[in-house]
A and B are shown apart, each in its own frame.
Chain A
């Protein structure tokens, strides 16, 4: 597939706990490049349950980077499989991304940067790597000028790695790191992380970058 000069989107889906692995499989079938899931809790809007004190339930939050052209297929098939068109069966949404390490030279072509007071020139760098590589990511990004990162624990569906036990796939543990960086520093931070973790080899991890509208609380040292 020709990833060059294609728009990329980050596709999200939030489902009840236990459905995530099925979505992993579906995503691979549809030609996704591997996805990540982390856990969360979702609110329940049901009077009876709320009176009983049951306010939330375990959720799986799924995301993957896909080609813009796949977006429609993803929406259709995911909606079909998990009945997202019915209430409280889960939600899906997508957002444009600027760059993805798994896609060679995919500097975004989504047009010029927005101008105006809204844009403070920050970008959000997401790094997904195997559990245990987290120190490398943080060290590399700090050496390239980032001021810190936030870590989320998750699991991934590599498309390469398929180890099964009792015929059930073992989905490797992953860490998701979110780094907010000045736009002009993004490239060097991404470069440093890529070099440190050899992310050019498939199956090692993924980096993607999104534009950020507004930030507060970020300080230069």
Chain B
């Protein structure tokens, strides 16, 4: 039983900071109405419960499937197979991602039907598929990750000059949408499986970087699509937020929708597992049962988590953003800093990533190091985003360009394993918690500040959150390197 208690404690410790911060804000500067506050507390409870169950599920179900597939793919040892299977896996798990379907629908509406939803879905999924394929081939051919990322982001930069601001927004959103709570652990495990089987001296650092590559896929895919189709103008709209009434009502309304989405996300993975198992893994009953149980927990956990976030957290984020921007504008960067610091701890994939880091390095890089670096990085990202919303002269690229440039520069200076962890963290940090709560906070703030643009400023936060870990984690890597150098010279 100690295991369950420990899990409960770990998960509570990651969700309580954000909860306590919101409670304090409620009693000090942004009082909420009572119903909303109670809904938030219920939401926090569901998030804790859901996160705990989800992590068991990720452990028992998603990670083993990813590992097994990675090993199976690597065993073929033919670049043709590795590339095409990687592409297929990336494509299939992305196309089922509910967030992406919502995004595709919104883009379709906003473009007045010029861009069909199915086109967006396919373009983004192809983008992810290509990057997963390339990522797996990179591991087999031992190409350095830092050069690959420099190349990928250089291409994105070039394309970025040709892309309209609206499509920049969509491309970053698509990237955030594809690295969901489910796909991230899977892709992490896939890369881990391949690098484990391949072994060799670089297997440790090869265990990371796949998520980072996968989340770059949608960005250039959407950019290329918009350039080829000559799309520039699009009517930006933010989906209307339904006014929530009652305490339980929003939960009852959100639940079936979220549960359906969770099923849709899991189906491709389940089918892929069953097919691979039949043809390749040929697991014994006990292992197969355990994986299927894991997928069931993933479903339950993910549903509870997302219901809690969507029905309990999102609205609070928006109301707080609006309230603070209206009454205490100057506090926005400070509150943003604090929120960023604590919100990333409650991200599901952050747990999965940090655990994998510990496993791969045998506990040398402790999760608390990664968490502190991520916390600081996201805190700065949200804080800077708030400044940008307040000051019209500050543009997103004023932060992104130097940030990515610094990230690329650092990737040639730090131990390779930190490069992979850093780029993966970018995709991991912009998960469901940040993407709903922080996004709602930023949109709320942008709404209250007349000079801000709700659509563009909203996406800017996600892009910042994806960029910040590059600098933060690699700075951590630099510190590690300096510290271990000192030791050698003693």
Instruction: Spell out A's residues near B (CB within 8 Å).
Output: 16-17, 20-21, 37-39, 44, 46, 48-49, 52-55, 57-58, 60, 88, 153-155, 160-161, 163, 165-166, 168, 170-174, 203
Instruction: Spell out B's residues near A (CB within 8 Å).
Output: 1-4, 6, 56, 60, 204, 289-290, 293-294, 297, 358-359, 361-364, 366, 368-369, 372, 479-480, 483-484, 486-487, 490
In the complex, chain A residues whose CB is within 8 Å of the CB of B362: 37-39, 153-155, 173-174
Give the shortest distance, in Å, between A109 (CB) and chain B (any CB): 34
In the complex, chain B residues whose CB is within 8 Å of the CB of A53: 60, 289-290, 293-294, 297
Give the shortest distance, in Å, between A130 (CB) and chain B (any CB): 9
B479 touches A165 (CB 8 A): yes
A37 touches B363 (CB 8 A): yes
A165 touches B369 (CB 8 A): yes
A54 touches B60 (CB 8 A): yes
Most chain A CB inside 10 Å of its own CB: which residue of B297, B362, B368, B486: B362
B290 touches A46 (CB 8 A): no
A37 to B289, CA, bound (A): 32
A174 to B361, CA, bound (A): 9
A6 to B311, CA, bound (A): 67
The 8 closest A-B pairs by CB, nearest first: A53-B293, A163-B483, A173-B364, A155-B364, A155-B362, A161-B487, A53-B290, A154-B362
A171 to B362, CA, bound (A): 10
Q: Supply 9 further A-B pairs (C-beta < 8 A) apart from A39-B362, A60-B363, A170-B480.
A: A16-B6, A20-B363, A21-B363, A37-B362, A49-B3, A54-B3, A88-B2, A153-B204, A155-B361
B361 touches A163 (CB 8 A): no
Question: When A163-B487, A165-B480 are in contact, do A39 and B363 touch as well, CB less than 8 Å?
Answer: yes
B483 touches A165 (CB 8 A): yes
A164 to B4, CA, bound (A): 31
In the complex, chain B residues whose CB is within 8 Å of the CB of A16: 2, 6
Question: When A39-B359, A88-B2, A172-B487 are in contact, do A55 and B479 touch as well, CB less than 8 Å?
Answer: no
In the complex, chain B residues whose CB is within 8 Å of the CB of A38: 362
Most chain A CB inside 10 Å of its own CB: which residue of B3, B361, B363: B363
B290 touches A55 (CB 8 A): yes
A170 to B481, CA, bound (A): 11
Give the shortest distance, in Å, between A158 (CB) and chain B (any CB): 8
Give the shortest distance, in Å, between B414 (CB) and chain A (any CB): 14
Q: Which residue of A lies closest to B360 (CB)?
A: A153
A-B contact pairs, 20 of them (CB 8 A): A21-B363, A37-B363, A39-B362, A49-B3, A49-B4, A52-B293, A53-B60, A53-B289, A54-B3, A88-B2, A155-B363, A155-B364, A161-B487, A166-B368, A168-B366, A168-B369, A170-B484, A173-B361, A174-B362, A203-B490
